[in-house]
Structure 1
């Protein structure tokens, strides 16, 4: 095996940077990883990226964090997966803890609505461009992949969720069409599954509330599929309805914090944990959320590395990838429905996409900062 064209610490530095400046949620973040690591720097092969996307879609947990973990695993195995995952999540965790402290001290963050007014619309433009790049690069002119892409996009828009059965079905369909199994032979496709991390030992924790937080968020991280956005309605049912840890207003603010901070959207669990039980509540919630996705990424990774190049597996991967990109494209519309509330936010989203398409060297953090400042200035006028 040839030496990788990058060091582990270069990858860790990149993930730290992406976790610090990567706005736009899971759709944008997976697009950034493809652009930076596959296209521009050529550190990773396209096949490695596709395998990572398949694992991230088939296993429960936040999409972007799982992809970062897998890409760290490709050349540096468990050590690379661990360091890449921590580097990706750590910056946003620090940010939400600081925001949580400010929130508790000052009784809310009124300015957040104004910032999210601008940033939310800007994010729609960013993820639309990411979805377009992924589609044009991976779908090509293959009619079967286009059919899967469109079906997945429409399903995502209609159901406002990502359906695991659709990813699996797409993979099986392309496998059967391109590389049908020879029944009775030893070469039939094996199941790409990993055991679920069903429970976590919290016996050493003395505080009952921390134990509740850890158990609940471990459950959420283990059994919720799809992007980080998919966990939001699930969390609402537990955090607000079942346990009563937060009010409706606090929960909405927690989601807004996740949207206006870089890194994975699911880091909102850290903010929620802080509001419930302070710093150690944030640690317990974030760690419990991300541990299942870490385990469920590195456990099947060796199998994918050994068998991922077989025609049957490659066809399965292509099918799942097409469905995943369709779901990402559908998510653009779902997020737009929530973030575009008037003519100004619609114009801001369109302007963002146009700027990123026309001026290739413009960095997304600059666009997001500009949108936040615009939101602070315009929101009072639009709501006045």
Structure 2
């Protein structure tokens, strides 16, 4: 049952099955990392369907940026929850990751059996060029709506500088922006958020506590079942390890993948050093959050240490355990915290703080876009120190490593998106085809 009703989701609200179909499509097209995925949801839910207002979407995004875990999947869950309560959140969040999970399991199976990834560079060279254009469009779309005054533009620029030049962890940047917005909200109208309907039900602390307890039990239930079925072993180790990762993954996937790779290789011996890079390439070729690479790790670990099952069954179980341990906390965070965020949505000081966080998020997306663009268009990118005493660095490409094929394909993709307005699916199809044509010709 939906926890509350509101009047600033544009009428008429979608049916449950219509919402399910749309989030299924979003899940299939969610390439491009958080920037592209957030932009895709914004385009579909706000611009095309009109199911969420700009204010509601940005408010949800702000909350998700403060949480550990994959923020885009949490945003999908929050959006589904707004539209159809808990069942909407469960369906939206699950459909966001399910297509990518199925693809990564299939790719991990092929990799474990054959370790043949010769086709990946061609696929990725085409796919990434198209995704870069999609990410750029997402950046412009969010910036246009979020940066409504000079103060917010300054905050976005400061966030980009802090991330790109000084390498400050993005949770600290987001926190600083929130503090600045809160302080400014005491005496100015920094927040661009509109007024709207209030909730008709007050969130309950009893419901919060019971919901958290129930969520944790559901989250860790596989651990008990695995202990009973298999005893200590790889599957149990995967559940414990990735459960720990799920609650400390502030800063996005790249913030923890280096540590995960080290533990998977050196501590547990689940894979060889180069296989982590292969897993990242496979994950980037699939829709959904990049942290689906953890399912690849889970698959290989269980495939090579099968225990009571045959290797393929064990590998699928390992991938499923990794995904469950990683993504279930996101549902818990949304269902526990979203009612309180909605209750405080029109609080002036909180709105000002969240408006500043939205501006900082634009800086985060810009940083991701520049980083992604450099690595798509150039084979080599160096981090050059400018003032080591203050940790001032700049990422600079080796110009002789410019990939002219990717540059041309990016220009074609951008033209297709911005001028011809053909949408994401034709662009991605064109780019994947071009990548395989390149493979065939070389």
**2:150 alignment partner in structure 1:** 143
Distance 1:122 1:287, change over 3 A: same
Equivalent-residue separation in structure 2 for 1:126 and 1:225 (angstroms): 25
| RMSD between aligned residues | 2.5
- Partner in structure 2 of residue 267 of structure 1: 292
**Is the 1:63–1:226 contact (alpha carbons within 8 Å) kept by the matching residues of 2?**
no
Deviation at 1:57, TM superposition (A): 0.7
User: What does residue range 344-383 of structure 1 map to in structure 2 within 5 Å?
Assistant: 344=404, 345-360=406-421, 362-378=422-438
Secondary structure of residue in 2 paired with 1:223: coil
Contact 1:160–1:331 (CA<8 Å) still a contact in 2?
no
The match for 2:312 is none
Q: 171, 176, 187: which is aligned to 2:178?
A: 171
Tell whether the 8 Å contact from 2:34 to 2:289 is kept in structure 1 after alignment: yes
- Which position in structure 2 is the counterpart of 1:227? 252
- Displacement after TM superposition at 1:380 (Å): 7.3
Distance in structure 1 (CA, Å) of the matches to 2:240 and 2:155: 37
Instruction: Compute the displacement of 1:231 (Å).
Output: 3.8
Q: For residue 379 of structure 1, report the CA deviation from its aligned partner.
A: 5.2
- Where does residue 359 of structure 2 map in the other structure? 322
Distance across 1 between alignment mates of 2:78 and 2:60: 6
Matches of 1:308 and 1:98 in 2, distance apart? 42
- Structure 2 match to 1:204: 225
- Alpha-carbon spacing, 1:34–1:258, altered in 2? closer, same or farther (3 Å): same
TM-score by length of 2: 0.78
Q: Is the 8 A contact 1:161 1:226 kept in 2?
A: no
Per-residue deviation, residues 207-226 of structure 1 (Å, max 9, x unmatched): 51011111111222210113
Matched, 1:296 2:333: yes
**Which residue, 311, 323, 337 being the options, matches 1:286?**
323
Q: 1:18 to 1:230 in 2, by over 3 A?
A: farther
Q: Is the 8 A contact 1:218 1:291 kept in 2?
A: no
Distance 1:150 1:25, change over 3 A: same
Gaps of 5+ in 2: 189-207, 303-314, 379-401
Q: Structure 1: how far apart are the matches of 2:259 and 2:432? A: 28
Q: Tell me which of the two structures has the higher relative contact order, counting C-alpha pairs closer than 8 angstroms and 6 or more residues apart.
A: 1
Size of the alignment, in residue pairs? 369
Match of 1:189 in 2: none
Q: Which residue of 2 aligns with 1:25?
A: 33
Q: State the partner residue of 1:47.
A: 55
Structure 1 pair 244/165, CA: closer, same or farther in 2 (3 Å)?
A: same
Q: Deviations over 1:216-261 (max 9, x none)?
A: 1122221011334444333223223332312222211111111111
Aligned to 2:193: none
Partners of 2:168 and 2:70 lie apart in 1 by 13
Equivalent-residue separation in structure 1 for 2:419 and 2:356 (angstroms): 31
Q: Is the 8 A contact 1:270 1:283 kept in 2?
A: yes
Q: Deviations over 1:148-169 (max 9, x none)?
A: 1011122222356752121122
For the 8 Å contact 1:120–1:340, the answer to whether it is kept is no
Return 5+ residue gaps in structure 1 as ranges. Answer: 182-192
Structure-2 change in CA distance of 1:302 and 1:175 (3 Å): same
Shift of 1:61: 0.4
Q: Secondary structure of the equivalent of 1:203?
A: helix
Larger Rg: 2
Q: Distance in 1 between matches of 2:14 and 2:335?
A: 21
Structure-2 change in CA distance of 1:151 and 1:73 (3 Å): same
Worse overlay, 363-372 or 246-255: 363-372
The TM-score normalised by the length of structure 1 is: 0.89
SS of the aligned residue for 2:165 comes to helix
